Each structure stands twice: as C-alpha cells, then as structure tokens.
C-alpha cells in the first residue's frame, strides 16, 4: 500500500512585491498509515509552508509550488480538482492551525460548530450530533454549560481547544497540528497531548506534529524531521535522531 502522505522534492517560493524568496528547497517526507511524524525547526524554517502545501492551501498568487510532488493516499494533490480537494480537506486531513481564531466562525456557538462538522461527515440526527459534540468538547476540557457560548466569549487557550475538538470531529486519517499547544497552559497541554496519543492509538490515524518542543515529539512521535532554512537536515526514528544527532543544529537542540 502507498504511504498516506508522500512529499517528493518539494520546492516552494513566496512572491512579495517584486522579490521572490525560496521557502522550501527540495523537501522529501513520508508519513505511513498510523505513523506520527514530528517536524521541528526554528522560526521561518518552512514548517507551516509544508503543511499548507500538503493541503494545497498556500496563499494564492503569493505562495507557489515550483517543483516536486505531493501524494496523498497515492493520489497527486497538486493535480486534484476542486471537488477532490474539498473531500480531502474535509474528510481525510484535519489541520489545527497556529492561530486558533482563524478557524472558528464567530456567528455560531461552539456546540453548533462542532455539530455541523460531525453532521457533514456522518448521518446523525441533530440531537445525536449535539451529544457527540458535547463529548468531544468535554474531552478537550470544555464544560457542558459552555456549549451555547460563541467563540468571542472564550479565551485564546479555550478557542484552541474548540479548534482541536473540531479537527477531531471528522475522524481524520491525517491530523496536522501546527504548534497546537503553545498558547495553552501546561496542564491543558498535557491533556491535549494525551488526547492526540489516544486518537492515534484508537483510530490509527496519522499525525504530523509541528512543534519547537522536543519533549512533545519524544512523547508522541515515532519519526522526526528537522528542517533548517527550507531543507530537511535530519530525518529518522526519534531514537536515531535524539541519541545520535548528526547535524550541528540538531545537536544544539
């Protein structure tokens, strides 16, 4: 069987005004089914660019894929039509964004939003979906009585938890988490990581975990890739890379 996600020799450029800047210089990454890959690297290294490329969500006109290929489940993402892309983004890959505000609709209560995601994916009555939404929100530590609140009534950390519940609602085959817990306090962080671990174990979904925190990677991931200035400088099992780092940058971590 083909790997779930296969990125080959990916090149991406950003155009700002007249200048173009290379963000990715020939990235190769593979995520097998059920595997968790950690992606680390300093700010500006290209981590979010990899995630957005996999979803074909680079900012239009500005971010351009100039070479390489991306296969999801053996199919070329870059050649997918609108319908297949929607299907992939909605059902198969979920992304938890660095900025949780952008992913929530201000006009619906959090309970409604999670229910809507669930009903898009499964044939459930409104009542059943609401019950499932409540379970998901409780799982990420949001009390029942807050289901009818709107996003603006939540703190940043709470909104991030709602975003995580929404991302889990469709049982994704691949969950991409871009620094999902940086804004949260340590206790909640630990709960959310536990949740992701469980998700991986129970549903054998794959995970791409983007983080600066090597502890998180050691805890959650089997493989790790280190990116530096748009190039993967180290890639292997967590054990290999952590016990025998080859590159000076990784040694410094």
Ligand X SMILES: Nc1ncnc2c1ncn2[C@@H]1O[C@H](COP(=O)(O)OP(=O)(O)OP(=O)(O)O)[C@@H](O)[C@H]1O
Q: What's the distance, CA 217 to chain centroid?
A: 14
Task: Pull the structure tokens for residue 52.
Answer: 């957005």
Cβ 128 vs Cβ 180: under 8 Å? no
Cβ partners under 8 Å of residue 127, min gap 6: none
Task: Pull the structure tokens for residue 217.
Answer: 């990677």
Query: Minimal distance in Å, beta carbon 180 to ligand X?
Result: 12
Size of the site for ligand X (CB under 6 A): 15
Summarize as ranges the residues that interact with Mg ion (CB under 5 A): 48
Query: Minimal distance in Å, beta carbon 98 to ligand X?
Result: 6
Q: Which is nearer to Mg ion, 48 or 134 (CB)?
A: 48
- Pick from 113, 100, 94: which is nearest to 156 by CA? 100
Which of 45-53, 142-150, 190-198, 217-225 is the region at the interface with ligand X (rule: CB under 6 A)? 45-53
Q: Applying CB under 6 A, does 16 fall inside the site for ligand X?
A: yes
From Mg ion, ligand X, none, interface partner of 223 (C-beta below 5 to 8 A by class): none
Taking the CA of residue 5 as centre, how many other CA atoms within 13 Å lie in the half-sphere pointing to its CB? 27
Q: Which is nearer to Mg ion, 48 or 250 (CB)?
A: 48
According to DSSP, the residues that pair with 236 across neighbouring strands are 224
Query: Minimal distance in Å, beta carbon 13 to ligand X?
Result: 9
Q: Which is nearer to ligand X, 84 or 98 (CB)?
A: 98
From residue 80 to residue 119, the character string flagging contacts with ligand X as x (rule: CB under 6 A) and all else as - is ------------------x---------------------
Q: Applying CB under 6 A, does 59 fall inside the site for ligand X?
A: yes
Helix (H) or strand (E) holding 64: strand 63-72
Write the DSSP symbol of residue 33.
T
């Amino acid at each position: 069987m083909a790997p779930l996600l296969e990125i080959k020799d990916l090149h991406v450029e950003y155009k700002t005004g007249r200048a173009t800047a290379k963000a990715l210089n020939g990235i190769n990454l593979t995520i097998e089914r059920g595997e968790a890959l950690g992606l680390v690297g300093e700010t500006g290294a290209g981590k979010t660019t990899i995630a957005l490329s996999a979803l074909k969500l680079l900012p239009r006109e500005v971010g351009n894929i100039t070479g390489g290929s991306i296969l999801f489940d053996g199919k070329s993402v870059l050649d997918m039509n609108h319908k297949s892309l929607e299907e992939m983004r909605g059902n198969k890959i979920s992304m938890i964004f660095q900025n949780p505000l952008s992913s929530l609709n201000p006009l619906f209560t959090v309970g409604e939003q999670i229910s809507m995601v669930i009903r898009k994916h499964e044939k459930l009555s409104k009542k059943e979906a609401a019950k499932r939404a409540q379970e998901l929100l409780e799982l990420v530590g949001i009390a029942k009585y807050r289901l009818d609140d709107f996003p603006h009534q939540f703190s940043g950390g709470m909104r991030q938890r709602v975003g995580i519940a929404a991302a889990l609602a469709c049982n994704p085959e691949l969950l991409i988490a871009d620094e999902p817990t940086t804004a949260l306090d340590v206790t909640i962080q630990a709960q959310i990581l536990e949740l992701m671990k469980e998700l991986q174990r129970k549903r054998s979904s794959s995970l791409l975990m983007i983080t600066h925190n090597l502890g998180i990677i050691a805890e959650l991931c089997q493989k790790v890739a280190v990116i530096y200035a748009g190039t993967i400088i180290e890639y292997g099992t967590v054990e290999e890379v952590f016990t025998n780092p080859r590159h000076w940058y990784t040694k410094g971590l």
